[in-house]
Structure 1
Amino acid sequence: MTIAKSTQSTLEVVRAGIQSTVQDQGRGGYRHLGVAQSGALDAPALLLANRLVNNPAHFAGLELVVGPIALRFSSASWFVICGADFEAELDGDPVRSGWRSYAAAGQLLTLRGAKQGMRAYLAVAGGIAVPQILGSRSTDIAAQFGGFFGRALQNGDRLPIGVVAAGAECDRPAGCLQRLWTPELRVLPGPEYQEFGDAAQQAFWQQAWGVSHQSNRMGYRLEGTPLLRATPGDLLSHAVLPGVIQVPPNGLPIVLLADAQATGGYPRIGVVIQADLWKLAQARPGTRFCFIQSDLAQARAAQKKWQQEQYRLEWSLYGT
């Protein structure tokens, strides 16, 4: 991969922050080969950001975690920040989260930190145009490929911005309401749920779990009363995916996220439904929440509701 030529529009990383990466909707179709999904932990936030600047849903943006972060536009561009409500300014003027804004050539976008939530997503018209690897521009930090040289961003990086397609130009500010974070995650009982006794099952549903500081993009480790497995013995390795809740020998659950491995050997007590998985991406260490038992019909209904909200947004913005 080569750095973009000076004639191409770029986004200069003046100050990288911590764990800022290029992400899209993930690398699907390769888990059978042991390749992680990667992609935005709060996938709906990046999707919303892309649609607000009239990018296709699969375009890449930036996942921003800890500021301060400073980015300079080499040419005029529309951009939007969604997800966590970061305190942001463009050359000293406030930037409203969830609203499309215009940056002139040379202007500096500064993000100091999140007032609410954990991760913000920056989309620019044309997308972050790093090369695709295995069908995705997402950064896989553990495997060190994808994104920008397979790593978190560093001061001085220049990210190429794609060319805006004819007919996809933005012409005015636009935005939408941000989602409301609530401290409940809907969960389907997992394949090994019955291997936990009544006391462990009750503890799983009834206690408030805390997010450990040991959490990362591979999985969120939880703090609370340990869950004891009633059925002894080892398990054969089995397939896992983002949302699966594993219980290691210490009894403290791990919720797998986008960078999770493809197989595991810990019992799977549950699976967070896709419509609620974004909440973990926005939960800071120390945040407490509860699991709510759900079923497949409710999971499908929640996903359908999210899709309908997207259709309404598309219609309100572009009439399509």
Structure 2
Amino acid sequence: MIEILTTGAANSVQDLGRFGYLDAGVSRSGAMDASALEIANRMIGNDAGAAAIEIAVFPFRARFSHSALVAVTGADCPVSLNGNLHPAWWALPVRSGDVLELGLPRSGARAYLAVAGGIVVENVLGSAATDLKSGWGGLEGRGLRRGDRLVFTPHSVPLTALPAGFGLDPVALGRAASDLAETNPIRVVPGAEHQFFEASAATAFETTPWKVTEDANRQGYRLSGTELRLTRKLELHSHGIMPGTVQAPPSGQPIIQLAEANTCGGYPKIAHVIEADLWRLGQAPVGSLLRFSLVSRSEAVAALREQRARLNRAAAFAALARKDARHPEILSALAGADRSS
């Protein structure tokens, strides 16, 4: 069991999301940085979509009542176990009574804490993800509070073989600190109404910085910057939208839909953030500056394939750290990772 000692209401239980219910008005929810949650799980032998803790308010402290193997990924934050420091992107054993603390991030906005075996909460519509907007899923449909206790499934990972734990290099995963900087644009594809924006607006969208305002949460980010003007007024029926959709309301200041995005809307869409770059929005804190760059559909698909190959390769090497390198399953995973690179 995990006892929450210090937390914030924005911290919650998440998995990879709730799929197949958009037509019923149910948003995807799930991790804001899905790849960080996935690799945290795969580092410690979980299924990719096992439930973990998404941490957006720091410091976060938790006490373990049972031995376990845990992993911390996502934001570059100091990790402390009983006062002993560990780097981020690290898997380590914890024992009964141990206290784990995650400090204020040096870069990024959200960290993920996964525990071998996965956190056990009741699934709602096939997912453990907390939908804070609707108040369901996760732990009673809400953020974590001090004193909450989360159950996890016992796992067979031998802790004695990993006395100091092991880590991954986020740079090798395409997640260097520079990937969060304004100078590295977030890739987008044109939205359905891109052609109806003034040429100066389309140019400004790609060439000027956009600030993440304080009106930012798991539902979406409001940005401030150059006003995005249309060539003419558009009357649109409400239509389906997804995480990553960039809309321009009458104010001309864009809104990016995120994990708990509305399932439909009527504002013109200038762009959509590609799936491989959605994690960068999840790691963008309030006040940070974003830039965007248009890419083709084929480039977006190639970026997703590259991201998947990196995740698979990292998972294979994490398996090497947990098990005998001669194990046929590990050799097969490594061979597959090499073929996909």
What TM bracket, shorter-length normalisation? over 0.9
Cα distance, 1:169–1:264 mapped onto 2, change above 3 Å: farther
Query: Which residue of structure 2 aligns with residue 313 of structure 1?
Result: 314
For residues 241-260 of structure 1, the aligned pairs below 5 Å read 241-260=242-261
For residues 56-205 of structure 1, the aligned pairs below 5 Å read 56-164=47-155, 171-172=161-162, 173-178=165-170, 179-180=175-176, 181-182=179-180, 183=182, 184-205=185-206
Q: CA deviation at 1:52?
A: 0.7
Equivalent-residue separation in structure 1 for 2:230 and 2:158 (angstroms):
56
Q: Helix, strand or coil for the counterpart of 1:277?
A: helix
Residue deviations 1:230-281 (CA, integer Å, cap 9, x gap): 1213210010000110001100011110101100010011000000111111
Equivalent-residue separation in structure 2 for 1:70 and 1:315 (angstroms):
30
Equivalent-residue separation in structure 2 for 1:115 and 1:197 (angstroms):
38
> TM-score, length-normalised on structure 2?
0.88
Residue deviations 1:49-92 (CA, integer Å, cap 9, x gap): 00111110010100001112110001011111100012221111
Percent identical among aligned pairs is: 39
Which shifted more, 178-187 or 62-71?
178-187
Residue deviations 1:267-313 (CA, integer Å, cap 9, x gap): 01100000011111111111112111101000000000011112212
Q: Helix, strand or coil for the counterpart of 1:118?
A: strand
Query: Which residue of structure 1 aligns with residue 294 of structure 2?
Result: 293
| Equivalences, count | 309
Q: Helix, strand or coil for the counterpart of 2:290?
A: strand
Equivalent-residue separation in structure 2 for 1:69 and 1:254 (angstroms):
29
Q: Runs of 4 or more off by more than 4 Å in structure 1?
A: none
> TM-score, length-normalised on structure 1?
0.94
Q: Helix, strand or coil for the counterpart of 2:23?
A: helix
Equivalent-residue separation in structure 1 for 2:289 and 2:299 (angstroms):
23
Unaligned runs of 5+ in 1: 1-9
Q: Helix, strand or coil for the counterpart of 2:96?
A: coil
Equivalent-residue separation in structure 1 for 2:8 and 2:136 (angstroms):
20
Q: CA deviation at 1:18?
A: 4.2
Q: Helix, strand or coil for the counterpart of 2:30?
A: coil
Query: Which residue of structure 2 aligns with residue 53 of structure 1?
Result: 44
Q: CA deviation at 1:163?
A: 2.7
Residue deviations 1:19-60 (CA, integer Å, cap 9, x gap): 110000000111110001000000000001001111100101
Query: Which residue of structure 2 aligns with residue 3 of structure 1?
Result: none
Instruction: Judging by fraction of residues, say which structure has more helix.
Output: 2
